Structure 1
Amino acid sequence: MTPPDATTEIAVEDPRWASMNLPSLAPRAIGATLSALNLPPEAFEVSMLACDDARIANLNAEFRDKPVPTNVLSWPAEDRAPDVPGALPRLPEPDNPMERELGDLALAYETCMAEAQTAGISAQNHVTHLIVHGTLHLLGFDHITDADATRMEALERVILATLGIADPYSVSVLD
């Protein structure tokens, strides 16, 4: 059974993203992520910016003090990180309208395409993985500690498998 799509608002700054069909791909990836955590996708919203490397480098410099392009950035609406490494974050309450908005994601076209090419995987599968990855960040998951990375990567594998995408960590292109 296909999980329902999440409400996703997408701002496309770089027209090259048109080839990815983000209006279909993004809500499906976000919906699969939420469904895997037993959260009803239709209860939540994510905003996404589809931009180029120059724009994401500016955002990365502004918000992370790293003036270089990256594949995906996330801005959670709320800090949901667990107190203990490897623990489950505090997930949003579907019935709480104050928790409807999960946050914002940004994807950089050139970096995403170069990573997919380097890894020898389809751009669509790689972008789907990055949206799942970014959505997990919005939900409080991270990969800073080994325990957190193990939990997050295991979830990504499960979610991507439901979307028919092979294990992305057999070839690592995420930072």
Structure 2
Amino acid sequence: MSQYAPDVTVTYAAARKGVPSSASFRKWVAAALADRDAPAEMAIRIVGPDEGRKLNRTYRGKDYATNVLSFPAELPEGLPEDVELPLLGDLVICAEVVAREAAEQGKRPADHWAHLVVHGTLHLLGWDHEADDEAEAMEAREREILAGLGIADPY
């Protein structure tokens, strides 16, 4: 368990009905970062489908709103190698997509939110799922973190 509590800023650009509290987001990020023994800062922005679609189209070339987008922080060029900045990056989560997916998949909405926050946070740490072996490793890590939160296997 990390000695550092992550600094998580949550902003809302969509209706908050059905969206978890900022405290829940912080708890889920802390669980994903429990093995990291360094300060961490990140932002989570809750958006509607229009903004979610625009961002997904602009940054991923996909013309639809998706559940979560991860934007890892880019460190300034020329930064000495021994300097560690706490900024991990940003997550953008589309509330309407999360609610729809939870209903379609028969999941508790809070559990689906937790899974997407953990998933996105792992992306900010460099985890990926492009190759099969990466996907298996990332999904195993997600299951482990979620189980620690009392949440069933999301897959």
| Superposition TM-score, scaled by structure 2 size | 0.88
SS of the residue corresponding to residue 50 of structure 1 reads strand
Aligned residues: 150
Shift of 1:129: 0.3
SS of the residue corresponding to residue 121 of structure 1 reads coil
1:22 equivalent in alignment to 2:60: no
Query: Contact 1:143 / 1:152 at 8 angstroms: preserved in 2?
Result: yes
In 1, the alpha carbon distance for the partners of 2:17 and 2:99 equals 13
In 2, the alpha carbon distance for the partners of 1:156 and 1:18 equals 26
Instruction: Tell me which of 122, 126, 131 is aligned to 1:145.
Output: 131
1:93-118 residue CA offsets vs partner (Å, 9 max, x unmatched): xx95x420000000001110010001
Query: Contact 2:19 / 2:95 at 8 angstroms: preserved in 1?
Result: no
Unpaired stretches in structure 2, ≥5 consecutive residues:
76-81
1:72 equivalent in alignment to 2:68: yes
Q: Give the match for residue 8 of structure 1.
A: 8
Unpaired stretches in structure 1, ≥5 consecutive residues:
80-94, 170-175
CA RMSD of aligned residues (A): 2.3
Instruction: Tell me which of 40, 44, 52 is aligned to 1:44.
Output: 40
Shift of 1:18: 4.6
SS of the residue corresponding to residue 18 of structure 2 reads helix
Shift of 1:122: 0.8
In 1, the alpha carbon distance for the partners of 2:139 and 2:5 equals 22
- Map 1:107-146; keep pairs closer than 5 Å: 107-146=93-132
In 1, the alpha carbon distance for the partners of 2:153 and 2:125 equals 21
Give the letter aligned to residue 30 of structure 1.
V
In 1, the alpha carbon distance for the partners of 2:72 and 2:107 equals 28
| Superposition TM-score, scaled by structure 1 size | 0.79
Q: Structure 1's 166 and 51: CA in aligned 2 closer, same or farther, altered over 3 A?
A: same
Give the letter aligned to residue 10 of structure 1.
V
Q: Give the match for residue 92 of structure 1.
A: none
Shift of 1:21: 3.0
